[in-house]
């Protein structure tokens, strides 16, 4: 979420939501943001971090000020490279696309995926076990969503 009026000045926390330090252990950053900077501008990614529900709720409804259109700046030019996606859109286009796909995310629809997700999870765990262990993040947590999404989209798993 990018606000249309970034502040000037120094970045007192140095919070970069996609930095390896934050990804490895975000909780010290979260505690500091919550305690000292509940509405915080991260110059590293040109994004705002809001850590209190009372601040976040109105911001989510104020898409004129807090826009998602620029996405999170993973790398310079990344958003332009991948093109528009629903997560990086503001109303009314976001709402139109959300209506088209929301039925796929209802409780009944998601519940119907459970056997397939469990089967993939068991396959990955069985492979980790057969290999005598491994990197759970790389070998399970990162692979499971890819397998599920490919299956749902009809993309060959190979």
User: CATH number for the domain including 39?
Assistant: 3.30.43
Asked whether residue 98 is domain-assigned, the answer is no
Q: Are residues 112 and 59 in the same domain?
A: no
Asked whether residue 95 is domain-assigned, the answer is no
Range of the domain at 137: 107-153
Q: Are residues 83 and 111 in the same domain?
A: no
Q: Are residues 53 and 131 in the same domain?
A: no
In this predicted model, what pLDDT tens digit does every residue of 104-153 receive, in sequence order?
A: 889 999 999 999 999 999 999 999 999 999 999 999 999 999 999 999 88
Tokens of 19: 């930095």
SS3 category, 48: strand
Residue 20 above 70 pLDDT?
Answer: yes
Give percent above pLDDT 90 in the chain: 57
Tokens of 5: 């009026």
Lowest mean pLDDT among 8-22, 35-49, 103-117, 129-143: 8-22
Q: Are residues 129 and 65 in the same domain?
A: no
Mean pLDDT of 53-78: 81
Q: Are residues 68 and 140 in the same domain?
A: no
Asked whether residue 142 is domain-assigned, the answer is yes
Cis? peptide before 92, omega within 30° of 0: yes
Q: Are residues 8 and 61 in the same domain?
A: yes
Lowest mean pLDDT among 22-26, 44-48, 58-62, 132-136: 44-48
Asked whether residue 102 is domain-assigned, the answer is no
Residue 9 or 87, more confident: 87
Total number of domains constituting the chain? 2
Q: What does the alpha-carbon distance between residue 103 and residue 147 come to, in Å, rounded to a whole number?
A: 21
Q: Are residues 82 and 116 in the same domain?
A: no
- Three-class HEC string of 89-117: CCCCHHHHHHHHHHHHHCHHHHHHCHHHH
Q: Are residues 7 and 63 in the same domain?
A: yes
What is the average pLDDT score of the chain? 86
Entry pTM:
0.59
């Amino acid at each position: 979420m990018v606000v249309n009026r970034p502040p000037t000045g120094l970045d007192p926390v140095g919070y970069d939501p996609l930095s390896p330090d934050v990804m490895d252990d975000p909780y010290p950053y979260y505690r500091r943001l919550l305690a000292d900077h509940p509405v915080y501008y991260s110059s590293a990614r040109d994004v705002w971090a809001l850590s209190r529900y009372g601040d976040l709720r109105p911001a989510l409804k104020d898409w004129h000020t807090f826009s998602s259109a620029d996405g999170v700046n993973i790398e310079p030019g990344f958003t332009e490279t991948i093109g528009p996606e629903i997560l990086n859109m503001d109303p009314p286009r976001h709402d139109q696309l959300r209506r088209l796909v929301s039925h796929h995310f209802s409780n009944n629809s998601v519940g119907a995926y459970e056997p397939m997700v469990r089967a993939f999870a068991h396959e990955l765990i069985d492979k980790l076990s057969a290999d005598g262990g491994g990197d759970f993040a790389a070998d399970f947590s990162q692979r499971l969503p890819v397998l599920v999404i490919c299956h749902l989209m009809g993309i060959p798993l190979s």
